[in-house]
């Protein structure tokens, strides 16, 4: 028998997803105009926290009427994600929502969003030099042995840099580590982040999965 010299078939298992919805300009331009007016008011009223080049609002923005239109879009996208994942009709809540303003030079270190199922971000102001988000390999084992490679591909990289733009809505697993590279543009990058968790988790989902009486 002659051994095959072709590349073995690749079978993807346990894939990691990032869901993206790019709104049409007719949808996001008026939305962003209203949201930016609200953000400017918040910053002027000092209703937030500044750390270096980063300003962040309080974490309960999802309750503000000024965000109602965006929250409706986020909730619809989250419903679509749960349908994709074949999660049974399970009620969920936005548990946190906050605005990030990253001035030129500002970055955001690698982190994840514990104690939630999904997280996401909507981009209000994003220009060249401030138009990416980095996702990092969530499998710590892959960092133990990293042989040199001739080319970075989807199969050997430990980081995926995703381009984003104004009107982009991303949703991803809350456990997926991510970071933001330094803003090399001359303007601020403005985004709205959120977390989503199942409502009544203890009642609906925490009982053991095996079928003892
Ligand atoms: Fe984040």
91 occurs within a structural domain: yes
Residue 89, pLDDT > 90, answer no
189 occurs within a structural domain: yes
From CA 78, how far away is CA 76, in angstroms rounded?
Answer: 5
The per-residue pLDDT for 110 is 97
9 occurs within a structural domain: no
The per-residue pLDDT for 61 is 97
Cα-to-centroid distance, 113 and ligand 1 (Å)? 6
pTM of the full structure: 0.93
| DSSP states of 146-206 | ----SS--TTT-SEEEEE--TTEEEEEETTS-EEE----SSS-EEEEEEEEEETTHHHHT-
144 occurs within a structural domain: no
147 occurs within a structural domain: no
58 occurs within a structural domain: yes
Cα-to-centroid distance, 193 and ligand 1 (Å)? 7
Buried (b) or exposed (e) across 166-201, using 16+ Cβ within 10 A?
bbbbbbbbbebebebeebebeebbbbbbbbbbbeee
Any idea what the CATH number is for the domain that residue 106 is in?
2.60.120.620
Q: Which residue's structure tokens are 């580590």?
A: 177
Number of domains in the chain: 1
Residue 1, pLDDT > 70, answer no
From CA 32, how far away is CA 57, in angstroms rounded?
Answer: 17
From CA 109, how far away is CA 211, in angstroms rounded?
Answer: 42
213 occurs within a structural domain: no
Cα-to-centroid distance, 112 and ligand 1 (Å)? 6
Structural domain including 43 reads: 19-138+157-197
The per-residue pLDDT for 213 is 59
pLDDT in tens, 185-212: 999 999 999 999 999 999 889 888 887 6
Cα-to-centroid distance, 115 and ligand 1 (Å)? 13
14 occurs within a structural domain: no
């Amino acid at each position: 028998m002659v051994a095959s010299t072709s590349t073995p078939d690749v079978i993807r298992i346990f894939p990691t997803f990032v869901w993206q919805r790019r709104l049409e300009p007719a949808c996001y331009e008026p939305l962003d105009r209203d949201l930016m007016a609200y953000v400017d008011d918040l910053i002027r009223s000092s209703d937030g926290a500044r750390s270096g080049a980063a300003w962040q609002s309080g974490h309960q923005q999802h309750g503000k009427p000024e965000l109602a239109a965006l929250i409706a879009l986020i909730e619809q996208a989250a419903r679509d994600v749960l349908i994709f994942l074949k999660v049974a009709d399970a009620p969920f809540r936005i548990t946190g929502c906050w605005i990030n303003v990253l001035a030129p030079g500002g970055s955001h270190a690698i982190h994840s969003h514990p104690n939630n199922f999904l997280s996401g971000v909507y981009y209000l102001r994003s220009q060249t030099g401030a138009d990416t988000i980095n996702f990092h390999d969530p499998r710590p084992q892959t960092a133990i042995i990293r042989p040199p490679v001739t080319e970075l591909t989807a199969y050997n990289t430990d980081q995926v840099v995703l381009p984003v733009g104004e009107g982009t809505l991303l949703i991803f697993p809350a456990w997926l580590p991510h970071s933001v590279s330094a803003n090399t543009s001359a303007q601020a990058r403005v985004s709205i982040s959120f977390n989503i968790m199942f409502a009544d988790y203890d009642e609906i989902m925490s009982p053991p999965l095996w079928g003892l009486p």
